[in-house]
Structure 1
């Protein structure tokens, strides 16, 4: 039993003594008072742990589809584990066993549950819908930003919908189930097998078998839940592409696809309206903005958008930029706004010791990004995880390019030889499409990654990444595709992407085991390198012995921070030479923070110690950009 499991066990025993639970009903109706919520002490805290409170993530969750009339359902819900899928036939009535914080992972201390190994679970809350709130807006939408992995939703005892995919938003029209002016009951049944054999689903670094680079999983409702009141034919989505020439292509989608006149206004700072453009919903239209200021890491200029169909209105934003690939002075390069921009940033896992997958606050999430920007980085690789939409909004505002991975299907370490079957592969490809369609509006995202190091990748012909790359280009022709970052490269996509620790091999005429030779017809890229580690003091370390025991698996350990920074300086100098001499166009340093048994972050896992010598890192990163500038 792990340290935090012991804490949970003791807490439950004491709580049970104070408030006995009646478990006698076959229908799982539990009329007792639930165990009250309190955050449990995580194995390791952050500076934001105690700032979470009981109304987490109060911000509007979708900055590119904003309405005034919305209501957060985040806060204290009730929770209990379930025995299996059969419980869907008899949802529990009344209050559930204990209170839980939503959004959260039930494995986290912030959830108030901190329970591992649960595959089936129930969540419940109540909400009111007043007639004043819905005045003139007859349709009620229930939005979930992400539930891992399958969610079946009940409103007032009626099944309202089902969703599969642990990283993606979904919206349910619950109008027919809602009682306006009275209390409504909401229940969610969640199934999350993570990587329990024989399951094979996209889950990224989550595992039920933690081991060094495989981390504590996240189960349950881990992103915001909220309500909207909208007209019957409401705006269901926007597609806006604004390029470096000032040309804008847009489509305003409505739920019924019944044509409506639409006005799109482009608004600059100080609410200055640059233009009003009229069209029809559900049809692509275009317009030109003279002298549009471009979005880039150096100048992350954004423009507000207001869309009005006379019966519905939403707010959004965009940035003018163009990403492409072309030959610059004889080398294939990634090009931003017509210029070769060397991309340098970190491998960003997005894990937190107090919230696991869930940053404790928006401010905490942005702290990591601001640190990277302060060191001179212009990019972050979001590693086999998809973040809340507010993460990408922050990158848009800060000016950080995002290389976005698709969460992998890599199985548990005990079954590494497993490969996806046809149905599992089809589900993976469906979720790739969700990733692209739901996030392609953010200017910061410049590259989609399909496979990381062969995890979940079929490596015999037919090579599915070839077809997936083509499909991504259909859905989003405005970005680059890194089909295989590291290892099994069959020629698909825009990148010849190498992984090598600790020293880089970026666009070079040499390569090592598990790497493919540099392909000069594609962009030479170092998808991962570095990984040099330093064991922190115990108060900054994930204090789980199983994780501590894996620290020696770190690619390279340094005795102190001076050595850590010296080794980083040496490796960045090697990378600079490869930029100057060979075909290197960008690189990803491992990594932003420590995670559990990994101790190679620029920050410790608790975000309390910054390892990077800021002066040295800024100088070394600037040297990379100058070397690239000299080449193109």
Structure 2
């Protein structure tokens, strides 16, 4: 070790009460690995990534990001977590947050199922010593066991959800504190909610993500503090709000809504925490894709103060001129947008930067699309905030379970799937852009010895009565939920009296929807391809391959015109085009995987998409 590093390690070990055991060398220093394919933002990640406050609907002023350089090492197996955590530093430096399989992590490692991550941190001197210290993780894939100063705090299961520990009694102010995280990620070795992650790469299943892949941060809060705010505003100006506290003892809450019309300006209300409050807000403008109006809200409970926001809008299912439709703010709104996988060649599950993430969404919005289907993946909260601000409806899929075997989930696995689905709904039900929850995609991980989606639909309606539910998108439809949702490549079959294998005939009691179609492919220049042999070999499995972009865009025009005719003639109420970007061996994106080459003829697509909305208006 270098002398300074050696002294630091000795001091840290002594302060933490560890036996002093010097490692033979420093950790391997972090260096951005060259990914198989980069993006325009790969070299902009830096060493303090994702500095944005990670929970835009529960903002506080006093917080501290722990993102940056940590250390990492593989573990021997599951038993390692039952032993004393190994001493820091670990063998290699790693950038947090990241997937260890991605180049941004500095590791680019595959096939590791058990691993340790560690760092040191201090509590800022200016933080109030009478307050509690919270340690927050936005997402760790898949199972995380957390230690502070070698005290085991607990374990979290689920690769897409936030979790928090109160570490006040474990930290030492004015000293360095150690943070160690043991991660277990089975990917598809077990039946867990995993989405498209796989160790068995194939055409539509991709590189997995393991490790601490979203922001880690500290927060200072009063002893009695707000843990979450459930909030939804309707087109009638009614605001439903529940302020949850850590003590769950009813406490007086004061709410201010800002940015109302000048005659109202700021409105104030008072009510108690931990119970639903319904308040009437005067003079609101409604949120919609054409006018994504948001209102900032201040919530004060005792000594705790948080900032949040909402949009006022109502989504429901109603019959319009004899056809059941999705209704936004009292009007039939045809929904059109892409299947959005949310994969990146450099970051795998995590975009390299916030700017990169928003670039994808602005591309979608710029084509005139008003919706995005977030496909069997859950994004950082900042993604949904961006959709709120841009005016993009979100159809949010639950993350599917294992699909590489015909075995259906056991009762325990089904229960875990349903537990995590409830977490997804509860964590995201305050984002106005989300209008639909999807339970199952194409029968993946779906029980068919009985039909659990009936019970799940009923449960979601209790948790969140403000949205529609798509129980089954694709097939294995048994008649529940708000949609009859068909998949058909390349041409659509949207609310039509004809259908193909695996699909179901149109059900006039539900909304006719095209959950996936299109998928037109085009092999770009090699410099835009994911240069992994196994992926390249699968390119021709893309639903329909075109030799050039002229052919690609002509065929897209034909398909969009066919969709328009189905809107005019039948009961088509929305459609999802596959897909936003290429992903590994799939080359059917609006843009290539590296986000450097846009395939679509922008003006043509804008015109064709506007024609869909015009056709729908003619049926409204």
Alignment of 1:351-390 (within 5 A): 351-390=343-382
What is residue 76 of structure 1 aligned with on the other side? 69
Q: Tell me how far apart the structure 2 counterparts of residues 465 and 421 of structure 1 sit (CA, whole Å).
A: 15
- Secondary structure of 2:306 counterpart: strand
Please tell me whether the aligned partners of residues 368 and 609 of structure 2 are also in contact (alpha carbons under 8 angstroms).
yes
- Secondary structure of 2:200 counterpart: coil
- Secondary structure of 1:141 counterpart: strand
Q: Tell me how far apart the structure 1 counterparts of residues 453 and 20 of structure 2 sit (CA, whole Å).
A: 47
Structure 2 residue 157 is the aligned partner of structure 1 residue 164: yes
Q: Tell me how far apart the structure 1 counterparts of residues 315 and 271 of structure 2 sit (CA, whole Å).
A: 27
Structure 1 stretches of 5 or more lacking a match? 1-25
- Secondary structure of 1:125 counterpart: strand
- Secondary structure of 1:292 counterpart: coil
Q: Tell me how far apart the structure 1 counterparts of residues 128 and 493 of structure 2 sit (CA, whole Å).
A: 59
Per-residue deviation, residues 186-205 of structure 1 (Å, max 9, x unmatched): 00000000002xx1000000
What is residue 202 of structure 2 aligned with on the other side? 211
Structure 2 residue 104 is the aligned partner of structure 1 residue 116: no
Greater alpha carbon shift after TM alignment, 542-551 vs 270-279: 270-279
Please tell me whether the aligned partners of residues 88 and 119 of structure 2 are also in contact (alpha carbons under 8 angstroms).
no
Structure 2 stretches of 5 or more lacking a match? 1-18
What is residue 216 of structure 2 aligned with on the other side? 225
Alignment of 1:47-196 (within 5 A): 47-88=40-81, 89-136=83-130, 138-196=131-189
Q: Tell me how far apart the structure 1 counterparts of residues 519 and 301 of structure 2 sit (CA, whole Å).
A: 51
Match of 1:279 among 263, 266, 271: 271
Structure 2 residue 586 is the aligned partner of structure 1 residue 598: yes
Please tell me whether the aligned partners of residues 315 and 468 of structure 2 are also in contact (alpha carbons under 8 angstroms).
yes
- Secondary structure of 2:462 counterpart: helix
Alignment of 1:264-275 (within 5 A): 264-268=255-259, 273-275=265-267
What is residue 448 of structure 1 aligned with on the other side? 437
Greater alpha carbon shift after TM alignment, 284-293 vs 509-518: 284-293
What is residue 418 of structure 1 aligned with on the other side? 407
What is residue 12 of structure 1 aligned with on the other side? none
Q: Tell me how far apart the structure 2 counterparts of residues 39 and 394 of structure 1 sit (CA, whole Å).
A: 27
- Secondary structure of 1:142 counterpart: strand
Q: Tell me how far apart the structure 2 counterparts of residues 511 and 580 of structure 1 sit (CA, whole Å).
A: 18
Q: Tell me how far apart the structure 2 counterparts of residues 281 and 490 of structure 1 sit (CA, whole Å).
A: 40
State TM-score, norm by structure 2. 0.95
What is residue 386 of structure 2 aligned with on the other side? 394
Greater alpha carbon shift after TM alignment, 591-600 vs 238-247: 238-247
Q: Tell me how far apart the structure 2 counterparts of residues 571 and 62 of structure 1 sit (CA, whole Å).
A: 39
State the 1:270 CA deviation: 11
Per-residue deviation, residues 238-268 of structure 1 (Å, max 9, x unmatched): 0111100001111111100122211000011
Match of 1:254 among 237, 242, 245: 245
- Secondary structure of 1:226 counterpart: strand
State the 1:135 CA deviation: 4.2
- Secondary structure of 2:420 counterpart: helix
State the 1:91 CA deviation: 1.3
Please tell me whether the aligned partners of residues 260 and 283 of structure 2 are also in contact (alpha carbons under 8 angstroms).
no
Q: Tell me how far apart the structure 2 counterparts of residues 259 and 470 of structure 1 sit (CA, whole Å).
A: 28
- Secondary structure of 2:309 counterpart: strand
Please tell me whether the aligned partners of residues 508 and 518 of structure 1 are also in contact (alpha carbons under 8 angstroms).
yes
Alignment of 1:302-321 (within 5 A): 302-321=294-313
State TM-score, norm by structure 1. 0.94
Alignment of 1:490-505 (within 5 A): 490-505=478-493
Greater alpha carbon shift after TM alignment, 279-288 vs 424-433: 279-288
State the 1:310 CA deviation: 3.0
Please tell me whether the aligned partners of residues 77 and 123 of structure 1 are also in contact (alpha carbons under 8 angstroms).
yes
Please tell me whether the aligned partners of residues 130 and 182 of structure 1 are also in contact (alpha carbons under 8 angstroms).
no
State the 1:30 CA deviation: 4.2
Q: Tell me how far apart the structure 1 counterparts of residues 21 and 327 of structure 2 sit (CA, whole Å).
A: 59
Q: Tell me how far apart the structure 2 counterparts of residues 609 and 94 of structure 1 sit (CA, whole Å).
A: 44
What is residue 619 of structure 1 aligned with on the other side? 607
- Secondary structure of 2:562 counterpart: helix
Per-residue deviation, residues 21-52 of structure 1 (Å, max 9, x unmatched): xxxxx999846310000010000000000000
- Secondary structure of 2:266 counterpart: strand
Please tell me whether the aligned partners of residues 261 and 283 of structure 2 are also in contact (alpha carbons under 8 angstroms).
no
Q: Tell me how far apart the structure 2 counterparts of residues 85 and 592 of structure 1 sit (CA, whole Å).
A: 38
Q: Tell me how far apart the structure 1 counterparts of residues 573 and 163 of structure 2 sit (CA, whole Å).
A: 37
Alignment of 1:29-40 (within 5 A): 30=23, 32-40=25-33
Q: Tell me how far apart the structure 2 counterparts of residues 179 and 380 of structure 1 sit (CA, whole Å).
A: 45
Q: Tell me how far apart the structure 2 counterparts of residues 29 and 597 of structure 1 sit (CA, whole Å).
A: 46
State the 1:309 CA deviation: 1.5
Match of 2:534 among 546, 549, 553: 546
- The change in CA–CA distance for 1:309 and 1:231 in structure 2 (over 3 A counts) is same
What is residue 19 of structure 1 aligned with on the other side? none
- The change in CA–CA distance for 1:553 and 1:27 in structure 2 (over 3 A counts) is farther
